[in-house]
Structure 1
């Protein structure tokens, strides 16, 4: 009954707000999904991966990445219907030990290169390759260090978007969650069990706001306390509560919260190691850092996996060597040509030109 009353109150209070439109989710959509390898090889006698590091596959809008048996890797992919292909697979060059781990990683990379078709069945991603062989993955849902922004709330038929002047966020940490409830900040303890999820010990600050914001905040925190399960649909986090209530979040990029240092740049099959300390930091709508011999800055825009930088400017100090000067020019030109990005653990990859990339590691 209290959910019905809460919903009616929200409708009366926010009658002028636009209704959120639920789009039919594509069950085979790959963009924004993350997977862990369960088995590979012949369908009738598959092999289970060995080693401590899981083999993962992460799909961005135009690229893939993940971890092999001991290296991180990246590449491109193409989907047409149920057909899939991977190209330009590259990886770091750590020597895997023992030899079985190295062979497993190479077998995995070769399987990706031979991939022909895919399907998603009962939550498993099955990628076919070779003669009746398959890579079988399970969905990897890693909330740690992720931040989400509320874009809709309420029951399915009458879900509303948040008030324009409010920002409601949900930030996951190792053993806690928190964020902004539109007016105040809050904290809670998440309890996971497969796809079941609930939040306990919810506390918040007590700052007074406008009546509309306070009413929205109460509705959000009440819904959060009633959450019992979650789903990831087309890259959106959907928290289910009550009879038919949903809190719908979109992921907020976290790379802007860190400082980064360039490790390599160029084409994937001919990466140039970065010389000196080339850095990248983000603040508000501006990026800045060092080119190795000058300071630079540029405005940036990010939307989903798309990222662009506009009109980088820099100081004009002469570099110590011609090689450093050439590297600086190449870096600034590449930065201006960036079109999208991928973030995997402590590695950030910016894509530009004809499948070229700037590869950064998280700075200490």
Structure 2
């Protein structure tokens, strides 16, 4: 059962976790807050946040699960990379087309919008579910102390991205999809990870399987002051580590 109380929108920062586009590496996380107080069963106040490059703010009205944003949103005028700006423009264009919202029992916010006669949705997680894990796409640097081999054709190296409670990425050959939970510095990845079924060289396939097994045996994570993500995982009775660096736009560009 979902709630639809206007008060539930406030009191937290909402971080984007799912929408029709994948976050651009290197962009600031898209996030915003609702400000105001209920007035006679309806709400007409302000929201503010960041759209990946620029800050934005505007008015909103909410009542009984319906939500109207804008229509005019003010933004700062900072310039960022072209991909970041395109992502930002798309997000800011969708906000005034929002028609309703819901907050699930998992605490996540879904905004429903109507664009060109078609309905879509954007999902967000509250600040207490957000982690620095969600900031970036992560590229594997070492697994159990060994540097990964790259795909012979695409040059792909294992990567991960954390979106809400979903995990996506590549093992170097196949796309990976799964669910995860965090509790403090504890990280649990659901063992029912899915993947595409492409065939690659034997060394690459063996590395990918080792990577998947490491993920589903994850125990803890830490983001070092140097920016590296370290995931401790069990291999038999021994604790090993996956070490990642955050991707930049240059890293993720086609080669």
Using CA pairs under 8 Å that are at least 6 residues apart, name the structure with larger relative contact order, 1 or 2: 2
Q: Which has the larger radius of gyration?
A: 1
